[in-house]
A and B are shown apart, each in its own frame.
Chain A
Amino acid sequence: MSLLRADIGLQQGAFSLDARVEAPGDGIIVLFGPSGSGKSTLLAVLAGLRAADRQTILLNGRDVSALPPHQRGIGLVFQDARLFPHLSVRRNIEYAARRAPQGAPEIEEVAQFFDITALLDRRVRNLSGGEKSRVALARALASRPDFLLLDEPFAALDGARRRAFIQVLIHMHRAWRLPMLVVTHNIDDAAALGSHLVALKEGRVVAAGEFAQASRTSEFQALLDSHDTGATVRLAHSQHGGHWLRADQVLIATEEPKAISARNILPATVQRLTPESDGVLVELVTEAGIILSRLTPEAVAELALAPQKRAWALVKAHAL
Chain B
Amino acid sequence: MLSGEELQILTTSFWVAANAVLWSLPFAIAAAFALSRPRFPGKLALDAITHLPIILPPVLVGFVLLMLLGRRGPVGALLAGAGIQFAFTAKGAALATAVMIFPVFVRSIRLSFEATDRGLFEAASVLRAGPWDRFLSVALPLAGPGILAGMVMAFATALGEFGAVITFAANIPGKTQTLPLAIYAVLQQPGGEAEAGRLAMLSFLLALLGLAAAALLQRWAVRE
Nearest CB of chain B from residue A95's CB, rounded to whole Å? 6
Looking at A52-60, A81-89, A255-263, the stretch in contact with chain B turns out to be A81-89
A-contacting 9-mer, from B2-10, B124-132, B173-181: B124-132
Question: Which residues on A sit within 8 Å (CB–CB) of B142?
Answer: 85-86
Q: Write the nearest CB–CB distance from A284 to chain B, whole angstroms.
A: 43
* A101 to B, closest residue via Cβ: B128
A86 to B124, CA, bound (A): 13
A78 within 8 A of B: yes
- Cα distance, A140 to B133, chains bound together (Å): 17
B123 is an interface residue with CB less than 8 A from chain A: yes
Min CB distance, A123 to chain B, in Å? 10
Interface centre among B128, B142, B224 (most CB of A within 10 A): B128
Residue of B whose beta carbon sits closest to that of A69:
B125
By CB atoms of chain A within 10 A, which of B119, B123, B129, B141 has the most? B123
Q: Is the CB of A84 within 8 A of B129?
A: no
Tell me if A70 is interfacial: C-beta within 8 Å of chain B: yes
User: Are the CB atoms of A49 and B129 closer together than 8 Å?
Assistant: no
Q: Which residues of B contact A80 (CB under 8 A)?
A: 119
Contact of B127 among A48, A68, A71, A95 (CB under 8 A): A95
Residues in B110-139 with C-beta less than 8 Å from chain A: 117, 119-120, 122-130, 133, 137-138
Assess the B122–A95 pair: CB atoms within 8 A: no
Chain A neighbourhood of B130, CB < 8 A:
68, 70-71
Q: B123 touching A75 by the CB < 8 A rule?
A: no
- Cα distance, A70 to B138, chains bound together (Å): 14
- Interchain CB contact under 8 A, A86 and B123: no
* Residues on the B chain within 8 Å of A49, using CB: 122, 125-126
**Shortest distance in angstroms between B145's beta carbon and chain A's nearest beta carbon?**
10
SS class, residues of chain B in contact with chain A: helix
Docked-complex contact B128 and A70, CB < 8 angstroms: yes
Report chain B residues within 8 Å CB of A47.
126
Q: How far is the CB of A7 from chain B (nearest CB, A)?
A: 21
CB contact list, A51-107 vs B, under 8 A: 68-71, 74-76, 78, 80, 82-86, 95-96, 99-100
Please encode chain A, from 128 to 157, with 1 for each CB lying within 8 Å of some chain B CB and 0 for all others: 000000000001100101000000000000
Report yes or no: A84 in contact with B120, Cβ–Cβ below 8 A. yes
Contact in complex: B126, A99 (CB < 8 Å): no
Q: Which of chain A's residues 264-305 have a Cβ closer than 8 Å to chain B?
A: none
Decide yes or no: A99 and B125 within 8 Å by CB, A78-B119, A84-B120, A84-B138 being known contacts.
Answer: no
A274 to B127, CA, bound (A): 48
Q: Is A86's CB under 8 angstroms from B129's CB? A: no
Within the complex, what minimum Cβ distance (angstroms) separates A104 from chain B? 10
Is the beta-carbon distance between B126 and A70 smaller than 8 angstroms?
yes
Residues on the B chain within 8 Å of A75, using CB = 126-127
Complex Cα distance, B120 from A139, in Å, reads 13
Distance (Å) between the CB of A137 and the closest chain B CB? 13
**Which of these, A71, A82, A83, A145, contacts B122 with CB under 8 Å?**
A82
**Complex CA–CA separation, A80 to B122 (angstroms):** 12
Contacts of A71 in B (CB 8 A): 128, 130
A86, closest chain B residue (CB): B141
| Set A74, A83, A85: member contacting B126, Cβ < 8 A | A74
Residue in B closest to A142 when the chains form the complex, CB atoms: B127
Are the C-beta atoms of B125 and A96 separated by less than 8 Å? no
Q: How far apart sit A82 and B117, CA to CA, in the bound complex (Å)?
A: 9
A69-B138 contact given A78-B119, A82-B120, A84-B120, CB 8 Å threshold: no
Out of A68, A74, A78, name the residue touching B123 (CB < 8 Å): A78
Segment 130-181 of B: residues with Cβ below 8 Å from A = 130, 133, 137-138, 141-142, 144
Known contacts being A84-B138, A86-B224, A95-B137, is A143 close to B127, with CB within 8 Å?
yes
Q: Is the CB of A82 within 8 A of B119?
A: yes
Known contacts A86-B142, A99-B129; 6 additional CB pairs below 8 A are A74-B126, A75-B127, A78-B119, A83-B123, A86-B141, A143-B127
Which 3 pairs across A and B sit closest by C-beta, in order of nearness? Answer: A82-B123, A99-B128, A69-B125
Q: Write the residues of chain B forming the contact surface with A, with a CB cutoff of 8 angstroms.
A: 117, 119-120, 122-130, 133, 137-138, 141-142, 144, 224
CB<8 Å pairs between A and B, sample of 9: A68-B125, A70-B129, A70-B130, A71-B128, A76-B126, A82-B123, A95-B129, A96-B128, A99-B133
Report A's interface with B, CB cutoff 8 A.
Answer: 47-49, 68-71, 74-76, 78, 80, 82-86, 95-96, 99-100, 139-140, 143, 145
